[in-house]
Amino acid sequence: MIRVATVKDVELLVEINTLSNDPVDPIIGITDDWVREMFENLMKDKSSEIYLFEDKGVAVLRKEFSGFNNCEMHWLTVDEKFHRKGIATMLLNLIDKRAKELKFRGIYLYTHPLHKAGIALYKKQGFEKINEFPNYYTNGDTSFLFGKMLS
């Protein structure tokens, strides 16, 4: 069901992001070309692991984050047709498991305040809001930083 994405999957990753119909993307200027370039760069980056849930969802673990021995859940998106089916939870659980295997102390993520369902999921998964960063996005919007310590 969940596997590591490869370079051959880049167009599928872009398609999943497009089909997520994320309302934040047009607000902050995320385009298919931007997403394609991001995934192509992440594929080359040895500090990133990209996980694909069939053709329905994608999550990215970045093995670098500020502080001692922390990582970042860098990207999580699911095709809108499959929202509320547990796919984001499965991907997030995999990121959590993988971070523990790699012996990270904590997982952090940034999210836009409009991502209400994502924020609810993060809180349910034990993440806590740590800070707000005004003017984080290119259009001046704020980003929330969430994190959780791993046991």
Its pTM stands at: 0.94
CATH code, domain with 36: 3.40.630.30
pLDDT given at position 9: 97
Structural domain count, the chain: 1
Q: What is the mean pLDDT of each run of 10 residues along the chain (151 residues)?
A: 96 98 94 97 94 98 93 97 96 97 97 96 97 94 97 79
Domain hosting residue 26, numbered range: 2-149
pLDDT given at position 67: 86
pLDDT given at position 73: 97
pLDDT given at position 88: 97
72-75: long-range contacts, CB 8 A cutoff, minimum separation 24: 72/107, 72/108, 72/109, 72/110, 73/107, 73/108, 73/109, 74/42, 74/48, 74/109, 75/38
pLDDT given at position 120: 96
pLDDT given at position 141: 95
Tokens 């089909």 found at: 19
